[in-house]
Structure formats: C-alpha cells, structure tokens
Amino acid sequence: MVARPILILGIESSCDESGVALLEFSADSNRARVIGEKLYTQISIHQEYGGVVPELAAREHLTALPLLTDALLKEVGYSLSQLSAIAVTSGPGLKGCLMVGVDFARGLALATELPVFGVNHIEGHCLVPMLDNPELTFPYLALVVSGGHTELLAVRGVSEYEIIARTGDDAAGEAFDKSANLLGFGYPGGAKLAKLADATRSDAEWSTKYQLPKVMREQSGFSFSGLKTAISLLVKREGESLSTRRGEIAAAIQESIIEALVDKVTQVVQERDISRIVVTGGVAANRRLRERIGQLSTADGSGVRTFFPTLAHCTDNAAMIAYVGGLRFTRFGIPSKESLKIRPRWGLEELSV
C-alpha cells in the first residue's frame, strides 16, 4: 500500500510579513516539496514610521491571513479537508502578531479537527536550508542572521540545538538597518546599504579610508552597538560631504558587520570538527557574506560545505514554518496544547519536543 503524503499548511505572522505555504512530505523522509506559498509584505505600511508598528502589523495579519490561505488553496487546487496538520509561528515575535496567527490557525483547526503545531520561528530559519538543499544533512553549524536574531548554533537534529554564541545587543540585520538609517536610507535599509556597498567596493580599499571598530573581537558572543555609535559619529564628522562618500561608508559598514560574523564562525570551525555550515535569516541574502562564508576552511585546510536557503526563504516565510511542523509531525506525532502558547521571547534552548 502506498502511504498517503503528509500535507502541512504553514502560517507565519511573527513580524511584518504575512505568509502561508503548503508543503508535501513523503511519509518516510525528512524531505518535502513546496506545493505553493504566498507572502504579503507589510513594509510599505511601516515605512513612513521608520520601523514596524506592532498594532498596525497585527491588523494587517488579521486581514491578510484568511485571504492568502484561500487564494493559495484555490491556486494549487487543494482543500482544507486534504491537510494532515497546520503549523503556525507561536514565537518569538511581536505578541499581537503572534496572537493573530495562532488564533487563525486554531480557528482552522476547530473547523477541520486537524492537529496544530506551534512552531519556533528561529527553528524555522535554522531548518529551512534542508528544505531548499536536499543534500544537506544533520549535523551542521548554523549562523542565523536576521532583523531580530543573531545566533550561531550547532544543529544536531530536529530540536537538538546547542547555542554557541548570540548577540548581546543588536541583531546583525538590525545593525544593517540602523546604519542604513544613519546614512539616510528608508526603512528597512539593510539590503539597500548592501547594494550600494557592493556597487562601490573595490576589494579592501575601503579599509584604509574608514576605521570602524572591530566588532566583538574578544567577546564570546556578538555585539554591534559600538559600531552604531561609531557610524553616527562618522556621519556627523562627514557632514556635508556625506552624500559623496555614502558608497565608501556603506562598504565599510558592510565589511565590519560581516567581518564580525565571519570571525566568530571561523573560530568555531577551527575549534570544532565542522564540515557543513548553514547561513540563514534575512542577512543570509547578503552577497558579500555568502562569498566570505564560502571561503572558509577547517584547521587542516579541508573545505567546508556551505548551504543557504533560496533568497525567498532567507527572509520571513511560511514554508519554513510548515517544514518544521512537518518534521515534528513525522517524528514526534501530535503536539500538546502547550505548543500553541504565545511566546514573544523564546530561545531555541527552551524548545521541547
């Protein structure tokens, strides 16, 4: 008898992206394929406020999630009755936004009697490279770099994580965005700063022009707040001439943030027996970071294989949530009610099966 495929609907609403995705797992493997996914980004709504307004974000999710789900199911020709389970982000993230997503999922579950999994958003970022790279297997080192998180962890299996380092203040994406803001880019400016940096940079030329502080050298984690202070002083000092030097400054900022990340990863790769590295989260879209991580090698000079999610799965998306839900469903079965508890702060070390 052929086993019925497992169909998981994923729902993401932890910040300013409303996402839904439908994934199909074969019953006997970790592998899944994306049947369809939809994302509604709220960036244009929050832009005029210079950052995400939690109340507005929650209201947008409330409107968007039912419409996106309906449109997705129609587009791919599936109905709710064919699903095996629903997975929804239950933390970490903005409380009101998480509540909207979880309540929407609970409503769908009430109507369909399907099991619902509350999924940790960071676990989604950590595991989605496996969805996108079928040749990637456990264990691996994961650098999670997003707007809200910067963590380096050993991923040994689903729910088997060891946090090696994390940021003591800003996240890497936040450092990109705040620096971009100081340079006059609109919110969120991280990707725009990176684009200008790439267009300007002629190798290491920037480093002789702008000395930005070495982020984090002697600390066990990451810290980006010193960089922010240095940039605001630099911007003041440049005054009128800032507009002509923006490209060089952007390149220096990008290099400084990436140097901090690559330094820490290099140290861990040299200390431990690492053969696979994953970089994930919004900042994993950064071209220069991909290039630098791709150049890493182990202490004995042997190469390290590097993996990234597709660009669409670097930033927030629902496919990663459906993927974690499916992996948990096939491994651990139906979740307890506890899994739907909203956890605005929820470290991976607190995860339970």
Q: Is 89 in the site for Zn ion (CB under 5 A)?
A: no
Tokens of 21: 């995705």
Minimum CB distance to Zn ion, residue 272 (Å): 26
Strands (E), 158-206: 160-166
Q: How far apart are CA 205 and CA 84, in angstroms?
A: 55
Non-local (6+) Cβ contacts of 286 within 8 A are 194, 254, 258
Non-local (6+) Cβ contacts of 87 within 8 A are 8, 9, 10, 11, 105, 116, 117, 119, 321, 322, 324, 325, 326, 328
Residue 309, contacted partner among ligand KG4, Zn ion, none, CB below 5-8 A by kind: none
Handedness of CA 164, 353, 121, 24 (dihedral sign): positive
Residue with tokens 């009430």: 110
Binding positions for ligand KG4, rule: CB under 6 A:
15, 146-148, 173, 176-177, 188, 190-191, 194, 281-283, 285-286, 315-316
Nearer residue to Zn ion within complex by CB, 120 or 146: 146
Nearer residue to ligand KG4 within complex by CB, 20 or 191: 191
Minimum CB distance to ligand KG4, residue 132 (Å): 15
Nearer residue to ligand KG4 within complex by CB, 93 or 335: 93
Minimum CB distance to Zn ion, residue 319 (Å): 12
Q: How far apart are CA 262 and CA 271, in angstroms?
A: 14
Q: Is 42 in the site for Zn ion (CB under 5 A)?
A: no
**Inter-residue contact 89 to 317 (CB < 8 Å):** no
DSSP state of 222: B
| Piece of 80-88, 287-295, 312-320, 322-330 that binds Zn ion (CB under 5 A) | 312-320
Q: Please, which of residues 112-171 interact with Zn ion by CB under 5 A?
A: 146
Element (H, E) at 54: helix 54-76
Residue 177, contacted partner among Zn ion, ligand KG4, none, CB below 5-8 A by kind: ligand KG4
**Inter-residue contact 39 to 61 (CB < 8 Å):** no
| Piece of 23-31, 196-204, 217-225, 313-321 that binds Zn ion (CB under 5 A) | 313-321
Nearer residue to ligand KG4 within complex by CB, 149 or 276: 149
Count of residues of this chain found to bind Zn ion when the rule CB under 5 A is applied: 2
Q: Is 316 in the site for Zn ion (CB under 5 A)?
A: yes
Residue 188, contacted partner among Zn ion, ligand KG4, none, CB below 5-8 A by kind: ligand KG4
**Inter-residue contact 115 to 335 (CB < 8 Å):** yes
Residue 118, contacted partner among ligand KG4, Zn ion, none, CB below 5-8 A by kind: none
Instruction: Give the residue from 257, 260, 246 showing the smallest Cα distance to 286.
Output: 257
Nearer residue to ligand KG4 within complex by CB, 119 or 285: 285
The residue ranges that bind Zn ion (CB under 5 A) are 146, 316
